[in-house]
Amino acid sequence: IEAIKYLSKTKTGALIVLKSKGDNLNQNDVGVKLDALLSQELLLTIFHPNTPLHDGAVILDKDKILYAGALLPLTEDPKLSWRYGTRHRAAIGITEISDCACIVVSEETGDVSIATEGVLKKYEDLGNLKTDLERILGYAKNDDDRKPYIFKFENILPSKYQ
């Protein structure tokens, strides 16, 4: 989240693919294999302008950066607005053919979006991004556990009424 905040603030374009558990994304032939531990500093270094890997995507698997500089397939959706550039089209494209999620930081505006299942969602508040990332990555608790309760019925009613 901190790296994404910085990339957004500095309007540094980024494309971050979050590989799902069962996904067999293989970007050997189009990316540089890193197999490095994920860190804020490494992400910022990869996406720093004028470096060899900054234009492609990084592919993450849990706490590892598997590949950098990966080229992703672009969506061919004819209804997509002309305002979306190559980065956004790549994010949508990879999620149309894969189970992954893809974070996009716009180079022009600094806007942050996530693509899942071929749909792009823009975030005005990075707190909401964190919540959605926790859900996507499987770290979030049940929705019921996040709701503020004054009472829980199971604590009030005897078990025979539940």
pLDDT at position 133 is: 87
Give the range with max mean pLDDT: 128-137, 139-148, 149-158. 128-137
Q: Which helix (H) or strand (E) segment is 144 a member of?
A: helix 143-146
35: left (phi over 0), alpha (psi -120 to 50) or beta: left
Q: pLDDT tens digits, residue range 104-118?
A: 999 999 999 999 999
Beta strands of the chain (E only): which ranges?
14-18, 32-37, 57-61, 64-70, 101-105, 112-116, 119-123
Pairing of strands 57-61, 14-18: parallel
Share of the chain above pLDDT 70, in %: 81
Which residue type, as a one-letter code, is found at position 116?
Answer: T
Instruction: HSE, CB side, 13 Å, CA atoms: give it for residue 119.
Output: 2
Q: pLDDT tens digits, residue range 52-66?
A: 999 899 999 989 999
